[in-house]
Structure 1
Amino acid sequence: MPIIVVADHAHINGGQAKVAIESALGLAARGHAVTFFAAVGPADPRLESAGIATILLDQVDVTTTSSLARFGVQWLWNQKAAAALGTLLARHDPDDTVIHVHAWAKALSPSIGPVLAASRAPIVFTMHEYYLACPNGGFYDYPVSAACHRSPVSMACIGHNCDSRGYARKLMRVGRHVLMRHTGMIDNLSAVITISRLQREVLAPHLPADTNWYDVANPIDAVPLGHKDSTTDETPPGGFVFVGRLSAEKGAGLFAEAARLSGQQAIFVGDGPQRAELEAAFPEAAFLGWHDPDGVKQQLRAARALVFPSVWYEGQPLTVLESLALGTPVIVSDLCAGREAVRDGVSGVWFRSGDPTSLAAAMTRLSDDDTARRMSRAAYDAFWADPLTLDRHLDRLERIYRDVALRSATLGIGSRPASAALRNAAST
């Protein structure tokens, strides 16, 4: 089956790109003819080695641009992406091709919407975040560091600055969101994949009532190493570790504050805009910087617990699942979807989102060595009783592709002509 994977990035710079690339590699290994279409390089060298045709636009994204003013045109309407995607789709027979979109908001822009809508091929969309429903992609109010419950693009939404960099960018996000809504991107999706129950609950009120929903957990890159060696009193468990971007929405400052309250050391593996501020305010914490994937696994395996204090609606945090697979219990915010993988009091502990006292109490609970060892074994056993492997992920994707292809053929969706407005939008 020809499969066109659409993403902002062709290299791994986070969980979203990792899933897009790893699944593309897995699908190619199963014999599918995969094309990877992305705006930002460099391309992961494994794509070429796997025989995957890669269309790379050599553009920048919103996080790496040197000038938002110059980047703004691309961010609002990336004409180069629309033209290149249109050319690519024209070379494929829509009756036996599936388009799988993973990302568009950081570089590709709403311009790909009319191109997708004009295609007769089924379109599958994986919701790694919330950009189809929320202008800033997270239902998160950055200035106050809390979840946002305003209706997207309502007067209350438009009049409130929720952006981390100011109201001008918020208005650009609103404008881009309105453009996206009018491109047909949402209305022409054959299937929407969510990666957690929480994600669907948040998104469902904002998408069409007849949306075809599918649940597909992200694949976890892990091998069964067995229970940890530290099962005796002679070898106490390690420390409390945070892995990821040091930023407000990830709860980095909350972790540092809770660690001080509980008398524990906060260990940070990662970097981000809050690092300098946190280093100055919490000199007792350890800041280890970014690690490669193997280094992250070593840190997680050695840890007493992963602390995941995110204060926004994380879809399905890969780090939480990787930690459990390594036998490390997780202290997780009760707001994010990471809680779905953690059995409270068994393989980890839930705490009240945004509450440093609640997080400190959870850390104190896991500072007991016997408790940490018991939860470590439970975490490992629970994950490997039903592991989220790449093969399981690919099996599910293939079933969805067959479903949408069959539905398209049966209902005649694939032969529906694009409206004149969409044809004109795709060509402008």
Structure 2
Amino acid sequence: MHLSLSEALRSAADVSRFPGPGTPRIDRVVVIDDYSVARGGATGLAVLSAKLFRGLDIPVTYICGDDAANAELAALGVSMVGLNSRDLLSAERAKAFVTGIHNGAAARMVANWIAARDTANTVYHVHGWHQILSPALFRALAPVAARCVVHAHDFFTACPNGAFFDYQAQEICLRHPLGAGCIATACDKRSYSHKLWRVARGSNILRLLRAEADFGRIILLHEKMAGFLVGAGYRPERLTTIRNPVAPLSIERVEAEANDEFVFIGRLDEEKGVEDAVAATRRAGARLCVIGDGPLMPLVATSGDHVRAVGWQSHAEIGTTIRKACALLMPSRYPEPFGLVAIEAARSGLPIIMSRSAFLAEEMERAGMAFACDTADEAAFAETLTRFAQMPRHEIRAMSERAFLMSPDLASTHEEWRDALLAEYCRLLSTNVVPELTDAVATQGVFR
């Protein structure tokens, strides 16, 4: 029997709720992340997964490093377990130095929960760990490693600085993680001593995660991530790609052709390239709206009259702000594993101008919804902005319409993403779960 893609995905959810003979039932999904309240990124997806699973009446426990004060999840019946701790940037320096490498309290919290509540059909899904929980988390999860999924939202599972990027040289790094060349290179954006601290933490990750083959599955955001992890020593068969779910920032198409303001959305940090966006728009004589917050906010807010810094905004607020935008700028300096904001903006009708190193750049440019360039080269970036701004309005509208109509093909819907995760959980629980499902999904590219 051959299942269609929609039937295969539906079966993934049905397996968890209405198991047939010989099919495991998922007793509970334990979602693990540093934080319980999201401002995007890994935590946003961790929280989303908990909501989606509860929508199928699957029991969910959410274990986190903060105070677990997410009232929305609690109202949905999610069992909240928190360490009530602060992240590394907020903690006292000496304590952060130790707990960033091994947070013993986090390990005990997880180990105690497993000892008291684990069942043979409980699945564990780790989203974020490097801000509070630390690599100690994986030692605590070792007894249930075969039922554990680790989501690689970034490259911290392989690279000490999490980006395969040399911040000092401002170039992508292809050195073997934790090899002699890696350890000897001062690539950290802060200092070489901080790099050595990250080496110590990275060695824990590779020892506890890479070397422990029992950890069932590592989920990637994009197929191109696999080469980096395989180069770091992970076996290819442990890696599965499930593209992130995307919801448009605006349900109606943004009339990009009627606007003349570029927009940047994201964390205001060096690796996101906001400084490059500020410099290139200044050089091109263009206006820039910056949505987001982070360490570079003071610099961005005082960078000139051509910049409008609005701070952090909710998904709905961003949808209103971008009505005035002509294109999104995504100038990440490191190999952006997915670039969720690029697809969110494209699905709203915004053309994208992005770094060539972003994994989505080739696909989006080929589809005619984006321009890719070396965004670290101020002159090249500014020239691309000028070229876009001088395009005839009907050509910008065509780009906008292509983005609005075609970008959904680059990501999952919320339901597809949820059901793909459930299918992975079922694979971990049994090697004999719905063989037709595996064949159908693999053939049609959901598990890439």
Q: TM class, shorter-chain normalised?
A: 0.7 to 0.9
Secondary structure of the residue that 1:91 maps to in structure 2?
A: helix
**Alignment match of 1:153 (pick from 178, 187, 190):** 178
Larger mean Cα displacement after TM superposition, 38-47 or 171-180: 38-47
Cross-structure match for 1:413 = none
Secondary structure of the residue that 2:100 maps to in structure 1?
A: helix
d(CA) in 2 for partners of 1:24 and 1:110?
23
Give deviations 1:259-316, integer Å, cap 9, x for gaps: 1232212221223323333455544322222222212122234310001000112221
- Residue 196 of structure 2 is aligned to residue 174 of structure 1: no
Q: How does 1:282-321 map to 2 (within 5 A)?
A: 282-321=304-343
Amino acid at match of 2:57: G
Larger mean Cα displacement after TM superposition, 309-318 or 331-340: 331-340
Amino acid at match of 1:391: E
Cross-structure match for 1:98 = 123
Cross-structure match for 1:111 = 136
1:242/1:269 contact within 8 Å kept: yes
Q: Kindly tell me: are residues 18 and 131 of structure 1, through their superposed partners in 2, closer, same or farther at Cα, counting changes over 3 Å?
A: same
TM-score by length of 2: 0.84
d(CA) in 1 for partners of 2:311 and 2:275?
16
Cross-structure match for 2:11 = none
d(CA) in 2 for partners of 1:145 and 1:229?
35
Larger mean Cα displacement after TM superposition, 397-406 or 119-128: 119-128
Shift of 1:385: 6.0
Q: How does 1:11-410 map to 2 (within 5 A)?
A: 11-65=37-91, 67-119=92-144, 121-184=146-209, 186-187=211-212, 188-209=214-235, 211-222=237-248, 225-228=251-254, 236-339=258-361, 342-344=364-366, 346-367=368-389, 368=391, 369-384=393-408, 388-407=412-431
d(CA) in 1 for partners of 2:141 and 2:68?
24
Amino acid at match of 2:195: K
Q: Kindly tell me: are residues 266 and 186 of structure 1, through their superposed partners in 2, closer, same or farther at Cα, counting changes over 3 Å?
A: farther
Give deviations 1:219-262, integer Å, cap 9, x for gaps: 1233773434577xxxx224111111222211112112221232
d(CA) in 1 for partners of 2:140 and 2:53?
24
2:374/2:381 contact within 8 Å kept: yes
d(CA) in 2 for partners of 1:93 and 1:277?
48
Secondary structure of the residue that 1:70 maps to in structure 2?
A: helix
Amino acid at match of 1:87: N
2:219/2:242 contact within 8 Å kept: yes
Amino acid at match of 1:163: D
Shift of 1:345: 6.9
1:110/1:179 contact within 8 Å kept: yes
Amino acid at match of 1:398: L
d(CA) in 1 for partners of 2:348 and 2:323?
6
Secondary structure of the residue that 1:89 maps to in structure 2?
A: helix
d(CA) in 2 for partners of 1:194 and 1:184?
15
Secondary structure of the residue that 1:118 maps to in structure 2?
A: helix
2:291/2:312 contact within 8 Å kept: yes
Shift of 1:396: 0.7
Identity of aligned residues (%): 26
Q: Kindly tell me: are residues 120 and 245 of structure 1, through their superposed partners in 2, closer, same or farther at Cα, counting changes over 3 Å?
A: closer
d(CA) in 1 for partners of 2:115 and 2:382?
56
TM-score by length of 1: 0.88
Secondary structure of the residue that 1:197 maps to in structure 2?
A: coil
Amino acid at match of 1:171: L
Q: Kindly tell me: are residues 386 and 149 of structure 1, through their superposed partners in 2, closer, same or farther at Cα, counting changes over 3 Å?
A: closer
Shift of 1:352: 2.2
Larger mean Cα displacement after TM superposition, 101-110 or 159-168: 159-168
Q: Kindly tell me: are residues 399 and 345 of structure 1, through their superposed partners in 2, closer, same or farther at Cα, counting changes over 3 Å?
A: closer
Amino acid at match of 2:43: A
Secondary structure of the residue that 1:343 maps to in structure 2?
A: helix
d(CA) in 1 for partners of 2:152 and 2:344?
20
Amino acid at match of 2:353: I
d(CA) in 2 for partners of 1:194 and 1:344?
22
1:117/1:185 contact within 8 Å kept: no
Unaligned runs of 5+ in 1: 411-428
1:12/1:44 contact within 8 Å kept: no
d(CA) in 1 for partners of 2:204 and 2:410?
42
1:259/1:363 contact within 8 Å kept: yes
